[in-house]
Structure formats: structure tokens, C-alpha cells
């Protein structure tokens, strides 16, 4: 009898504890509504501006000068050529601002190399960089015989290395806009003439340096000087126009109502920079083929990929395994829409696909010719993504270009 009584008391106590938990939980949930619900003190107010009254425009008396009463902060209309345009949107979605370039968070000066080409990347506008380069040449006793601000070109006079007294050398420095906003690139070309005396005529500049070692010598010295220059240099107002009349090396826009990126680069650099960007900032590269411009990738927004506080507390998912795909690049590209069908592709509906079902990831497709490439983000079947999804992929990709 005593045993049954003890069990009954234990059961009653357990029941009371459970009811207590339920009461506390319901109280906490109802308390959250007081603070964070639709009528709570800390409610979401991001759409409150939609409830504001619209006032009629100000009407001035006849004969009054209306030019002085223009809009203080006019909002330009969005048309079909703007990157933020979305004809399928039910309501207006404000496009997110361009993310800060990944290069801006790294070294201020670095030497980039792609294939046989090298250049100096500087996190500064050409207008700021121009006087610093001129100052370096003066301090190095390299006289400039030509300076073209419009084209961003500086040519040195003929010089002679002590190790080679039977030849003359000359350099051309090309400063232009970088692939990212507020960055500059310095390309150096070297030419050599076999002569003990200085030539009287300007040389024919080759497409690449005649002596890579002597190009590297000047590039290393210039990069080191720019990196160690901690003084606040001036800005050349005239040099701010460098590259102003040339199309941006990387630009976001619309093509046939689809968000795209245009690249004004040669083929080697285009494929190399896309491959580089497709491995960073939420991207994972499954496979690629530079010859056909196909990059099979997986993407997950880095913010959404972070584990929550519960997983962090128990150290769950801190080192997730890379995502895999059951399909090869050859299988995916063979099944994709081709030609005009690709250009006029419908919107993606992966659940309706019969072949290569549940193919993960995306395709980054590069088309065009050297100096004029078009970059698009599609699903693995070659079909278009919703504009908002395509914009996120293209914008992230552009952020990491080099």
C-alpha cells in the first residue's frame, strides 16, 4: 500500500512539473507577443511608409518660375535595362546595394598574374594613382618622355642596364580602371633595342614585353613603392577621366529581361576570374570547362549557411562537408537547352524535369567573344532563374572577380 502511494505521489509530482512547463511556455509565448507581435512594442516597422498619405504636388501660381521648385531628391524610374528590373515581381523589391569588393578587404597593392600576363592591382582610383606613379618615376630617375592622361599612358625614356651596355630599354605604363569600383590596374610593357646608342625613333610596342624579367623588375619596384607609401597623396583632377570613355570591365545589366554581367576582358582572364570567383563567398565549384564557358557550381548564401546559436553551442555543423552532385558536367551540358532554345528559355521548374532529376546547383554560362563576354546564371537544365535569384548569384560572382 505504501509502495502504491509513493508511486501515485511521484506520478502526481511529474504531472505537476509538466503542467508547470506548459504554463511557463504559454506565458513566455504570450509575453513575446506583447513585445514582438504585430501590435507589440518592438513590432516590425519596415513597411510603415506604405501607410503614409500621399500629398498632391505643389501648384504654383501662373507666371511663377517653376524651375526653382524641383524635386530635392528625385527618384529615377526603373526601366527594362536596369539591373534591378523584374517584370515578374508582384510588388516592388528594392535592389540591395552593390556589396563591397572582396579585393577592398585585402592588401591595398598586389601583383596579379593570369597566364602570361601580370599587372599591379591598387585599391585606389586612377586620379589618385597617377601622381604617385609619376613621383615613383622621378625618384627612380626614370624620365617620362610621354604622358597621355586621356589614355592613362606613361612612357619612359631610353635607359641602359649596366649588365647590358649593347642594348637600350624602354617602358610603357598603362593605368586604367580596375575590374572592381574604385580600383586601378597598372600594366607594364617592356621593349628592347640592340644598340649602344639611344634610338631617335619611338618603338613599335609589342602586345607583351620582350623581356619578362626586366618587366618584372620594374613591376616589383613600383608595387613595393606604392605599398610602402603611407603618405596621403594628392589626386589629379585631370587623371580622374582615365578610362571614363571606355566601357567598364565588369558591368551588371539586363539582357532579354534577364540579369547578366558583361566582361570586357580577354578569354584567358575571363575564364580565370570566373573560376576564381566561383569558389568563394558561398560558391562551390563542381566542375568547369573554360573552352565552352561552362561552370557547374553550388551556391548557398553565406549568411544562411551559418549555424544557429543552438548548433554553435553544441558544436554541430561547424565544419559541413562539401555538397556533391550525382551528375558530371558532361551529363549536365548534354542535357541543357542549346542555341535559340537557350536564349528564349522559360523560367526554371526543377520539379517538372524528367531527365537528371533533382540536379543540384547552378550553371554559370559565359558566351561571346574576347573583349565582349556575357555571363548568365541558369539552373542545371539551362533554364532561366527568377530575376531576384539570378541577381544574387551574379552580384556575388562580380564581388570576387580579379
CATH assignment at residue 304: 3.30.310.170
Same structural domain for residues 192 and 172? yes
- Per residue of the chain (402 residues), what is the pLDDT tens digit? 454 555 555 555 555 555 555 555 555 555 555 555 666 666 777 777 778 887 787 787 887 777 666 677 776 777 777 777 776 666 656 556 666 665 655 668 999 998 889 999 999 888 889 999 999 999 999 999 999 988 899 999 999 998 888 999 999 999 999 998 889 999 999 999 998 888 888 899 998 999 999 999 999 999 999 998 765 555 555 556 676 555 789 999 999 989 999 999 999 999 999 999 999 989 999 999 999 999 999 999 887 766 666 666 656 666 778 899 999 999 999 999 999 999 999 999 999 999 999 999 999 999 999 999 999 999 999 999 999 999 999 999 999 998
Q: What are phi and psi of 129, to 5 degrees?
A: -80, -35
Give the end of a domain, one of 185, 219, 241: 241
- Classify residue 110: in a domain, yes or no: no
Closest CA to 293 of 325, 315, 263, 319: 263
Closest CA to 280 of 188, 124, 400, 123: 400
Residue 117 near residue 208 (C-beta atoms within 8 A): yes
The whole-angstrom separation of Cα 394 and Cα 297 is: 12
**Looking up cell 642594348, which residue turns up?**
167
The whole-angstrom separation of Cα 109 and Cα 87 is: 42
- Classify residue 14: in a domain, yes or no: no
Show the domain range for 129: 115-241
User: What pLDDT, on the 0 to 100 scale, is given for residue 211?
Assistant: 94
Q: Which long-range CB contacts under 8 A does 221-226 form with residues at least 24 apart?
A: 221/136, 221/140, 222/120, 222/133, 222/136, 222/173, 222/186, 222/188, 223/109, 223/110, 223/111, 223/120, 225/136, 225/139, 226/108, 226/109, 226/120, 226/122, 226/129, 226/132, 226/133, 226/136
User: What pLDDT, on the 0 to 100 scale, is given for residue 1?
Assistant: 45
Helix (H) or strand (E) holding 225: helix 212-228
Domain with residue 169: its CATH number is 3.30.530.50
**Looking up cell 547578366, which residue turns up?**
260
Helix 387-399 with 267-277: angle, nearest 10 deg: 110
- Classify residue 96: in a domain, yes or no: no
User: What pLDDT, on the 0 to 100 scale, is given for residue 181?
Assistant: 84
Same structural domain for residues 260 and 210? no
Same structural domain for residues 226 and 263? no
**Cα Rg, the chain, nearest whole Å:** 31
244: Cα separation from own chain's centroid: 20
User: What pLDDT, on the 0 to 100 scale, is given for residue 398?
Assistant: 93
Residue 93 near residue 200 (C-beta atoms within 8 A): no
Same structural domain for residues 132 and 202? yes
User: What pLDDT, on the 0 to 100 scale, is given for residue 314?
Assistant: 58
Same structural domain for residues 275 and 355? yes
Q: For the chain, what is the domain count?
A: 2
Give the end of a domain, one of 194, 212, 241: 241
* Residue 66 in grid coordinates: 517653376
Same structural domain for residues 129 and 211? yes
Give the end of a domain, one of 197, 216, 241: 241
Helix 212-228 with 126-139: angle, nearest 10 deg: 110
In terms of DSSP bridges, do strands 372-378 and 168-177 run parallel, antiparallel, or are they unpaired?
unpaired
* Distances in whole angstroms, Cα of residue 347 to Cα of each of 80, 259, 360, 381, 390: 18, 13, 16, 10, 11
* Residue 222 in grid coordinates: 613600383
* Distances in whole angstroms, Cα of residue 65 to Cα of each of 58, 62, 68, 74, 333: 13, 9, 7, 19, 63
Amino acid at each position: 500500500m505504501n509502495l502504491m502511494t509513493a508511486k501515485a505521489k511521484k506520478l502526481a509530482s511529474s504531472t505537476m512539473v509538466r503542467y508547470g512547463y506548459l504554463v511557463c511556455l504559454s506565458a513566455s509565448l504570450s509575453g513575446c507577443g506583447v513585445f514582438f507581435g504585430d501590435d507589440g512594442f518592438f513590432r516590425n516597422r519596415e513597411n510603415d511608409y506604405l501607410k503614409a498619405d500621399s500629398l498632391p504636388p505643389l501648384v504654383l501660381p501662373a507666371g511663377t518660375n517653376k524651375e526653382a521648385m524641383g524635386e530635392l531628391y528625385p527618384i529615377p524610374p526603373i526601366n527594362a535595362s536596369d539591373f534591378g528590373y523584374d517584370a515578374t515581381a508582384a510588388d516592388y523589391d528594392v535592389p540591395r546595394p552593390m556589396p563591397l569588393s572582396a579585393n577592398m578587404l585585402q592588401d591595398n597593392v598586389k601583383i596579379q598574374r593570369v597566364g602570361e600576363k601580370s599587372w599591379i592591382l591598387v585599391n585606389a582610383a586612377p586620379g589618385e594613382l597617377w601622381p604617385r606613379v609619376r613621383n615613383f618615376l622621378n625618384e627612380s630617375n626614370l624620365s617620362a618622355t610621354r604622358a597621355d592622361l586621356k589614355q592613362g599612358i606613361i612612357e619612359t625614356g631610353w635607359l641602359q642596364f649596366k649588365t647590358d651596355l649593347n642594348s637600350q630599354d624602354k617602358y610603357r605604363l598603362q593605368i586604367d580602371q580596375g575590374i572592381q569600383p574604385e580600383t586601378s590596374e597598372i600594366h607594364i610593357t617592356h621593349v628592347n633595342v640592340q644598340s649602344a646608342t639611344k634610338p631617335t625613333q619611338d618603338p613599335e610596342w609589342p602586345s607583351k614585353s620582350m623581356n619578362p624579367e626586366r618587366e618584372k623588375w620594374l613591376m616589383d619596384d613600383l608595387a613595393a613603392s606604392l605599398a610602402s607609401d603611407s603618405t596621403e597623396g594628392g589626386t589629379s583632377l585631370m587623371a580622374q577621366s582615365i578610362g571614363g570613355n571606355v566601357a567598364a570591365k565588369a558591368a551588371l545589366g539586363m539582357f532579354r529581361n534577364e540579369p547578366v554581367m558583361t566582361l570586357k576582358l580577354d578569354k584567358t582572364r575571363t575564364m580565370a576570374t570566373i573560376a576564381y570567383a566561383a569558389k568563394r563567398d558561398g560558391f562551390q565549384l563542381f566542375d568547369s570547362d573554360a573552352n565552352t564557358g561552362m561552370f557547374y557550381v553550388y551556391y548557398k548564401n553565406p549568411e544562411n549557411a551559418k549555424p544557429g546559436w543552438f548548433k554553435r553551442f553544441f558544436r554541430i555543423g561547424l565544419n559541413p562537408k562539401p555538397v556533391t552532385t550525382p551528375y558530371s558536367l558532361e551529363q549536365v551540358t548534354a542535357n541543357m537547352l542549346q542555341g535559340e532554345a537557350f536564349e528564349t528559355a522559360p523560367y526554371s521548374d526543377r520539379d517538372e524535369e524528367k531527365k537528371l532529376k533533382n540536379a543540384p546547383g547552378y550553371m554559370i554560362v559565359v558566351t561571346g567573344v574576347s573583349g565582349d563576354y556575357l555571363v548568365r546564371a541558369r539552373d542545371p537544365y539551362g533554364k532561366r532563374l527568377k530575376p531576384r535569384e539570378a541577381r544574387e548569384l551574379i552580384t556575388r560572382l562580380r564581388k570576387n572577380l580579379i
